[in-house]
Structure 1
Amino acid sequence: MIDRGMGFPADGIDNHGWKLYITSLVMIISSGLFVVARCIARYSIHKLGSDDVAIIVSLISSVLLSTYIQLAIHHGYGMHKDDLEKPDLRMALKMFFIAQTPYKATVCLNKVAAILLYLRLFVTKSFRVWSFVVLGVVVGYSIGGIAATIWQCVPIKGAWDKSVDAKCIDSNKFWVAYAVLNILTDVMVLALPIMPIMRLQTSRREKLLLCCIFLLGGFVTITSILRVTSVSNSLKNKKDMTWNFIDRGVWTLIEANLGIIAACLPVLRQPMGKLFPRIFGSTKKSSLYYTGPGGPAKGYNLSDIAAQSPRPGLWKSDASRSEQIVSIG
């Protein structure tokens, strides 16, 4: 077997695996920096929470995704099938097959991390119920998707070695169905914090700013849609998978790592506010307050909320009701 390095053309043989190689490096470095910044911001104030752990595990999964993608490139992924020797072809397809599992795990964990953060910030009963419903949907379809990916062929080896007599599911329908479910759950996760934010007693500008911060995850949804398009295009010529699946792989890497970055942004609002005060912050520190019979409650900074308590989140209680307190400062 021949090592194709970083996937650049050599000896007059077409190879565009370099697109995947460069994308994987850029995205994993970028997402890694955001996760490190998130952990420093949280740990400097409080201990890390479950949402932080989820995003760290997601980053590890993304590293595995990039590793297997690069191994596939080393074995000729990015070249035409006819230009590869059979051992290289089988190994390239095997690495691509293995990479599908950490991709799905990363996408799942990104959404789980976002929902766990929501549960830390917004803790009204109805919101918690809907959050756990969406969390169940995300985890459920992700487990099903990973299981279907691993056992798409019986025996499993048939997924990358077409010489094996195997029974396989219709991978075309499965890939499209998974991609559509992925987009739907993206929208569900994005929609969760909107109503709680709109009910906060603060200025319209602050509400809009908070919505924009949480809706930055919408860029992930856009990449998911673009990935669906690339998946659809790649399925038109599966006979030359090692060549035609490159653009699809690029969007896969972008989607997975952009999801990590988007999940970190709400936590990094305070440090980003210092760097870009006109966009992410204001000239004075402001917090949300609930004013009850006993007077105003204490405010908290959004990026500082990390401590665990017997009752999740931040509350102001009186004799008749409990009100939620969330900071935007």
Structure 2
Amino acid sequence: MPGRDPRGETLLRWMIAFTVIVGVILLLRLWAARLMRRSFYLDDLFVLIAFASTITFEGVAVWAIDNGAGKPQADLTPEELAIQAKILVLPSSIAWLVGTVAIKFSVLWLYTRIFSTRSFKNWSYSLMALVACYFVAFLAVFMTICKPIDQLWNPVPWGSCRDTSDQEFTSISFNLVVDLAIFVLPMPWLWGLKMPLRNKIAISVMFSIGLVTIGVMCWRLAATKDSIAHPDASYHTTDIALISLLELWLGMIVASIPTLAPLLQRYVKPVITKVTMHSSGSRYPQNQYKLSNYKESHSSRRYKNIDTTNSQYDVKIYANDLQGSTQGLAITTECTHDPVIEPPRDIPTPGQIHVRRDIESQNW
């Protein structure tokens, strides 16, 4: 189109690519939820709100690109300047604000589902309250940049607009600190869990992907400083829009990665297992045995009275000891789709052993 600048065309290509990527990841997130047959949680809702806000931001950005965003302000017509002013004052700012806040709520609510420790949940709720206060405060700030609100594109003699540089730095700095706190928050609890070291490292790396968004915000701080030093709102629009959208895109990806584990377990892990078995020349993976080939070495020990009628898949086994008397030992196993997220349904009573493990089923 004649009004588009090459820098605006570049921004448009970025938007198309990342909208498809993020859309696919969110569909995978919903697929994983359906696969687990779990409820639709609040963190799912918040990430969808963030996606809707991002689409709104992108629509506004397309409007700006079609009206010369990226060109020097001196090359724009009065009508294009008015449109750029309308975009900068309200729609883009509010869409970005709603998107970033929704992403933070999504991650923090996911934390409360993963970690059951009361002190951890209290920290998560405290951060949610802080983010909510930030949202209310900056929504008011963005709504009152100009008095009247249309002063930039429909000026009146008694109207005025304030300098936005201070609020830009304050908003970006707050988001930087909160995102860093969200990244650091689960680490002490994670490394205090009794699990293999490789699992702790893998989960830490997964959470560390959030550092990418912190790097993007540092980039935005530098870009904001540069735009203030060289004030040409239209010329810097495409740069600021790209960085702001990257923050939203990457934030939604980071918030969704932990929820994709069921898909990896169902579709990716079996493929890796088969490839590993094929390369090692073994029919069965290491430390896995076919139950039909396993025989109890003590012929005097027998198992009976297996009750599988319990709706929670509890199995009670009464074993005869070597002298033939019946022990009252009860072993209860609970099969659940996600042992990390959901707490045990039953609290073990004295005289019982409560076993909770992931169980992988394969057809031989």
* TM-score w.r.t. length of structure 1: 0.81
Which of 22, 28, 34 is the matching residue for 1:31? 22
Q: Any idea what SS the aligned residue of 1:46 has?
A: coil
1:165 to partner: Cα distance: 4.5
1:168 aligned partner: 161
1:298 to partner: Cα distance: 4.1
2:186 aligned partner: 193
Cα 1:212–1:126 shift into 2, 3 Å: same
Which of 115, 119, 122 is the matching residue for 2:112? 119
Contact 1:42–1:48 at 8 Å: present in 2 too? Answer: yes
- How many residue pairs end up in the alignment? 300
Q: How far apart, CA to CA, are the structure 2 residues paired with 1:303 and 1:23?
A: 39
2:300 aligned partner: none
Contact 1:80–1:243 at 8 Å: present in 2 too? Answer: yes
Which of 55, 69, 81 is the matching residue for 1:63? 55
Query: What is the aligned-residue identity percentage?
Result: 20
Larger radius of gyration: 2
2:327 aligned partner: none
Q: How far apart, CA to CA, are the structure 2 residues paired with 1:303 and 1:86?
A: 61
1:215 to partner: Cα distance: 2.0
Q: How far apart, CA to CA, are the structure 2 residues paired with 1:300 and 1:281?
A: 22
Cα 1:136–1:4 shift into 2, 3 Å: farther
2:343 aligned partner: 314
Contact 1:57–1:109 at 8 Å: present in 2 too? Answer: yes
Q: How far apart, CA to CA, are the structure 1 residues paired with 2:21 and 2:133?
A: 29
Root-mean-square deviation (CA, aligned residues, Å) is: 3.2
Alignment of 1:134-149 (within 5 A): 134-149=127-142
Which of 208, 220, 226 is the matching residue for 1:215? 208
1:308 aligned partner: none
Q: Any idea what SS the aligned residue of 1:76 has?
A: coil
Deviations 1:140-189 (CA, angstroms, capped at 9, x unpaired): 11221222112111111124556764333330011011000010010111
Deviations 1:193-245 (CA, angstroms, capped at 9, x unpaired): 2122112111111011111112211111111111111111111122x211123
Cα 1:161–1:189 shift into 2, 3 Å: farther
Cα 1:232–1:281 shift into 2, 3 Å: farther
Structure 1 residue ranges without an equivalent (≥5):
9-14, 285-293, 306-312
Runs in 1 of length 4+ with deviation above 3 angstroms?
Answer: 159-165, 272-278, 280-284, 294-305, 315-320
1:85 to partner: Cα distance: 0.9
Q: How far apart, CA to CA, are the structure 1 residues paired with 2:257 and 2:160?
A: 44
1:231 aligned partner: 224
Contact 1:266–1:303 at 8 Å: present in 2 too? Answer: no
Q: How far apart, CA to CA, are the structure 1 residues paired with 2:146 and 2:240?
A: 21
1:247 aligned partner: 239
Alignment of 1:257-296 (within 5 A): 257-272=249-264, 277=269
Deviations 1:33-66 (CA, angstroms, capped at 9, x unpaired): 1111101111232231111011111111110010
1:49 aligned partner: 41
Q: How far apart, CA to CA, are the structure 2 residues paired with 1:20 and 1:227?
A: 16
Structure 2 residue ranges without an equivalent (≥5):
277-284, 286-329, 351-355
1:92 to partner: Cα distance: 2.1
Cα 1:180–1:196 shift into 2, 3 Å: same
Contact 1:58–1:109 at 8 Å: present in 2 too? Answer: yes
Deviations 1:236-269 (CA, angstroms, capped at 9, x unpaired): 122x211123212111111111101110000012
Which of 87, 94, 98 is the matching residue for 2:86? 94
> Aligned partner of 2:30: which letter?
C
Q: Which has the higher contact order (CA 8 A, sep 6+)?
A: 1
